[in-house]
Amino acid sequence: MGLPMRKQIRLPDYDYSSPGAYFVTICTHEKRRILSSIPVGALHEAPAVRLSGAGVIVRRIISCLPLRYPAAKDGAFNLTE
């Protein structure tokens, strides 16, 4: 049994090698929450995200992208569900 067919999400006539802002999405197997945890804090306190070992590796790789791709700039780094 093969993989399910996925919908094409790229714009057909867009040059993705041109300068612009791009999102990088990192998915985990079965949407497991292995990149970080949010410890329980006091009420009305902004939660602090605690990266796991895997999360530290992902952050390091993202921060090194401009070394491999000089035109790339490191933007915001968000961990979400």
pLDDT score of 5: 86
- With H, G, I as helix, E, B as strand and everything else as coil, classify residue 27: coil
Alpha carbon distance 18, 21 (integer Å): 10
Range of the domain at 55: 48-81
Task: Tell me the pLDDT tens digit for each residue of 7-61.
Answer: 888 888 989 888 888 777 888 999 899 998 887 766 667 777 889 999 999 988 8
Task: Tell me the pLDDT tens digit for each residue of 60-81.
Answer: 888 888 888 887 776 666 655 5
* Residues 61-71 as b or e (16 or more Cβ within 10 Å = b): eeeeeeeeeee
Residue 43 located in a structural domain: no
Residue 80 located in a structural domain: yes
Greater pLDDT, 38 or 1: 38
Report how many domains make up the chain: 1
pLDDT score of 32: 92
